[in-house]
Amino acid sequence: MTRPAYRGPLRAVVFDWAGTVIDHGSRAPMGAFVRAFAEFGVAISIADARGPMGLPKWDHIMAVGRLAHVSAAWQARHGHAFGPGDADRIFSVFEPMTVAAVRDHADMIPGAVAAVAACRARGLAIGSTTGYTRPILRELVPLAAAHGYTPDCLVCAGDLAAGRPTPLMMYRCFADLGVFPPEAVVKVDDTAPGIAEGLAAGTWTVGVALTGNEAGLSAEELAALDESARHPIRARASSVLRAAGAHWVIDSVADLPQLLPEIESRLERGETP
């Protein structure tokens, strides 16, 4: 039996963390990945570290280790192909490195707190999912709270049997927030796996181009660029997020409040994600 089209209001927004609401350019995890591999005698580039961003961190390490040139370097250094046991070893140093790194990258993205307040003013619940583990998020949550950001639920990589790009963390948000159906929810993220997570759960998805992983710029670096310099960065990041299936791509989470009426108008017409 076909479920009738949902024509009600939006009920929740689920935000990613690094690169979406905090840590402009998603700098903390990027640096930790590079340093963690270096601890084991293998150099990886910033591009290598950023490629799988958004995945649960163990999965991210595994994806980097399986890159052809990284795998070859690992084989040369350690005498065997990169495997799950190696990912375990790297993760054991990566996690505490990231716990330390987030302390230095905990500034809220400009406009994020105001955007969340605007969502709450519309009656929306605020959820969050992240590729970060609980120990990392335990460090980050009070830092974000001090800046005025406290979401209604926190779902981390490792909380469930699988993380991104599966919908399980989103399902946990639905249950924790008491919101349904999926089309009453918007997922906001700066990475392809985070967009895939929202799509798998059946929500609207909004990609964030200029403040996140794909651009990789600090707030100061971005502010120093004129529009002609921003344009190719925006275009490249937007193309990745659109290819992942994002329904909309905005420069920053600060732009989200202006987009919400359009999403609600689509719902009123009976459209679905």
Residues serving a catalytic function are 16, 57
Token digits of residue 16: 């990613």
Residue with tokens 């800046």: 147
Strand ranges in 26-142 using DSSP code E only, listed in sequence order: 125-130
CB 19 within 8 A of CB 112: no
The single residue listed with the structure tokens 């502010």 is 223
Dist CA 213 CA 22 (whole Å):
12
Which residues on adjacent β-strands are paired with residue 248? 206
In order of 10, 92, 268, the CA distances from 183 in angstroms are: 8, 38, 11
Among 63, 141, 158, smallest CA distance to 102 is for 141
- Go through 44-78 and write b for each residue having 16 or more CB atoms within 10 A of its CB, e for each that does not: beeebbbbbbbbbbbbbbbbbbebeebbebbeeee
Tokens at 183, concatenated: 């089309």
Q: Which amino acid is at 211?
A: T
DSSP secondary structure string for all residues of 131-191: SS-HHHHHHHHHHHHHTT---S--EETTSSS--TTSSHHHHHHHHHHT---GGGEEEEESS
